[in-house]
Structure 1
């Protein structure tokens, strides 16, 4: 029988690309969707989600969507068994919210601060993937790196860059998104930790 099941990962990518491209050419759309603390005081809580569908530029969008497509496609089947087939979408949206919350509490009274992009939720997807396949190879700027090694480098760099400051990248969202991806996956599948440790102890070299 023909399987007409729609890829939720691909659907998220298509929607994000379409909304981001629209926002690139329409500043009003960008201003309405971006995460901006004063807007929360006006009751625009939808920005906890909408900020993940707009991006700073084409490279920001491309990097996030390529990462989401490859790693989301690998994980989607696991999450879709929860919440009536909507598990992966809810996991992703939850990642957007969880990743931005700490930054919101830190900057909620700062009208000069804003954030955008899917990086927090994409980090959640990437680190959840690492729980399933810690030694799989990830290509970082075309350089092959084992997933678990990349995880340590990624966390270390994000902590350093967050403390250093001086950029428009919300490194805090990357870290909290990664933590969310790990915690939620282990809540849904408590045996995953034991399986992860077992695989970690069997490197392919």
Structure 2
């Protein structure tokens, strides 16, 4: 975890997760403009790409609770949200690290969508990242209340005032998303602080940032698989497996904690992550029989027309494609985690001690 104190400057440079979210939002907005062929995305394009609307939950289109936050109605809408993401997100990620930053962002995005749907008394359609960005400001305020970040009171007064002004500047703006996002960000940060305090007594080692992030990604893949057409959450045959999987989560986490304390434990954990990532990606590809055939039927650009036979062959043998992609995912994991892997392989007994010392020093976030 990053140091508990930082400079109180108004602007800090965006880090990896913040920069990735900025890039995704801008790229998706550009894609909607291309789809619409107009200076602003059309309502039909926004709806088709994932906007939240009044019947989404009734029709079990839960993916919209995530997708709507990456769509924007106008360039000004995008600019305002990206400015807030850059200012607030950069501070929060610098303080908490990428994992908890992403957890707070996604949690506030989904909760803002849920509550926004509840408070609407008439048909509506909504897009935008404002619920999630407001959550980042709420999380920063929580850290300030807990005296875990060095930002001035004027920073929060000016930014909260800006958020309120943006909320009520246009009657079309979903004020509920802003308010719920801000509240959810504050509360989720407080919950994470309590979790970190509890983990101090349950786990001996402080998990490296890459390990926490990878475990959350594996959890996301598992949730997607469980909710896909091939693995329905309401399937009677799946219920026992889900119960067993949920019960095994704390066991796996504690096992990782034990392994990290061993000599070469860090290298063993990296190797295990590579195998887990490969297996998860392979299963995800094999389970995509309801979505990939549609992708396979999309027309290819002329320069790629020669790949059509290969793509058709792959779409007809998803099991083989899944194994190949899984192997590539495992290899990519080892490549990306090359530094901790080398550190683990050269361990003479200091890595586990360093991770235990980091846990002993921590008191919350």
Structure 2 residue aligned with 1:197: none
C-alpha distance 155-53 of structure 1, shift in aligned 2 (>3 A): closer
Structure 1 residue aligned with 2:68: 51
| Distance in 2 between residues matched to 1:152 and 1:64, nearest whole Å | 14
C-alpha distance 20-152 of structure 1, shift in aligned 2 (>3 A): closer
C-alpha distance 102-20 of structure 1, shift in aligned 2 (>3 A): same
2:134 pairs with 1:123: yes
| Distance in 1 between residues matched to 2:30 and 2:57, nearest whole Å | 24
2:28 pairs with 1:24: no
1:7 to 5, 16, 19: 16
Offset at residue 65 of structure 1 (A): 0.8
1:171 to 148, 172, 175: 175
Deviations 1:98-128 (A, max 9, x none): 1222221233x73x31111000110111232
* Contact in 1 for aligned 2:131/2:180 (Cα 8 Å): yes
Offset at residue 154 of structure 1 (A): 5.4
Aligned-residue CA RMSD in angstroms?
A: 2.6
1:185 to 177, 186, 189: 189
Offset at residue 158 of structure 1 (A): 7.8
Matches within 5 A, 1:108-147: 110=122, 112-130=123-141, 131=144, 132-135=149-152, 146-147=154-155
Offset at residue 30 of structure 1 (A): 1.2
C-alpha distance 9-152 of structure 1, shift in aligned 2 (>3 A): closer
Structure 1 residue aligned with 2:77: 60
Structure 1 residue aligned with 2:254: none
Q: Which has the higher contact order (CA 8 A, sep 6+)?
A: 1
Which structure 2 residue ranges, 5 or more long, are not aligned? 1-14, 36-41, 195-365
2:157 to 146, 149, 152: 149
Structure 1 residue aligned with 2:103: 90
Offset at residue 152 of structure 1 (A): 5.7
| Distance in 2 between residues matched to 1:100 and 1:169, nearest whole Å | 13
> Secondary structure of the residue that 1:97 maps to in structure 2?
helix
Deviations 1:27-57 (A, max 9, x none): 4541121111223322211110111001110
Structure 2 residue aligned with 1:42: 59
Whichever of the two has the greater Rg, that structure is: 2
Offset at residue 10 of structure 1 (A): 0.5
| Distance in 2 between residues matched to 1:175 and 1:129, nearest whole Å | 15
Deviation beyond 6 Å, 4+ runs, structure 1: none
Deviations 1:164-187 (A, max 9, x none): xx7110011111111111111122
Greater helix share, structure number = 2
C-alpha distance 20-42 of structure 1, shift in aligned 2 (>3 A): same
* Contact in 1 for aligned 2:22/2:85 (Cα 8 Å): yes
TM-score, structure 2 normalization:
0.41
